[in-house]
Chains A and B, each alone.
Chain A
Amino acid sequence: AQKVTQAQTEISVVEKEDVTLDCVYETRDTTYYLFWYKQPPSGELVFLIRRNSFDEQNEISGRYSWNFQKSTSSFNFTITASQVVDSAVYFCALSPYGGATNKLIFGTGTLLAVQP
């Protein structure tokens, strides 16, 4: 069975602080995809990053970075020097890499509030 846990329900930081959003997953699949999505107050879902299970290289994109650790089943997301525009709900998601079933399961999300 697949499961994604985002234990942090809400995080509040002051602008320019660094913040890490945690994501822990469970799956029996040997190959799988992990994703992060952002949902700003306007409500749409914005894709941020995809990582496949056989690529453990960490990734940095501007102020965003992702740390994938297969040994601990975690795929954490760090925002460096946070800005008010980063305020949103962030979702982590998991999908098997192949097979007849292709469920895409989301965590419960972390609400990030960045105060000016």
Chain B
Amino acid sequence: NAGVTQTPKFRILKIGQSMTLQCAQDMNHNYMYWYRQDPGMGLKLIYYSVGAGITDKGEVPNGYNVSRSTTEDFPLRLELAAPSQTSVYFCASRDFGGRNTEAFFGQGTRLTVV
């Protein structure tokens, strides 16, 4: 199993550009999450999904959009990149209801907006 795979690992964007951060998991998990981690700070929840077709806002959703058309994929879209979106982005998945309910994290995407 690959677990949770995030692409790309690094990206530099110019202000106003758009991009999609990809996240895929192969564990058939119901729940998926997107977090951002600013330098020296904790993890803040951007969006989450409890299953295909269902998404909801987290603590800091402004400037982002998500979709969940399949169980496996949960892409995060930045429409008009701003310097405030410079951060490390983590995707996670979780299998609620099973014995193991901890979240599994991807390796992160380091995004710089200049």
Contacting pair A104 B42 (CB below 8 A): no
Work out how many contacts link A and B, with CB atoms closer than 8 A: 54
B53 to A: closest C-beta gap in Å: 13
List the B side residues contacting A40 at CB < 8 Å: none
Map CB proximity to A onto B43-64 as digits: 1 under 8 Å, 0 otherwise. 1110010100000101100000
List the A side residues contacting B88 at CB < 8 Å: 43
Given contacts A43-B88, A44-B107, A44-B108, contact A103 B102 (CB under 8 A): no
Count of chain B residues with a beta carbon within 8 Å of a chain A beta carbon: 25
A93 to B: closest C-beta gap in Å: 8
Contacting pair B50 A104 (CB below 8 A): no
Residues of chain A in range 88-111 having any CB-CB distance to chain B below 8 Å: 91, 93, 95, 98, 100-109
Residues of chain A in range 63-116 having any CB-CB distance to chain B below 8 Å: 91, 93, 95, 98, 100-109
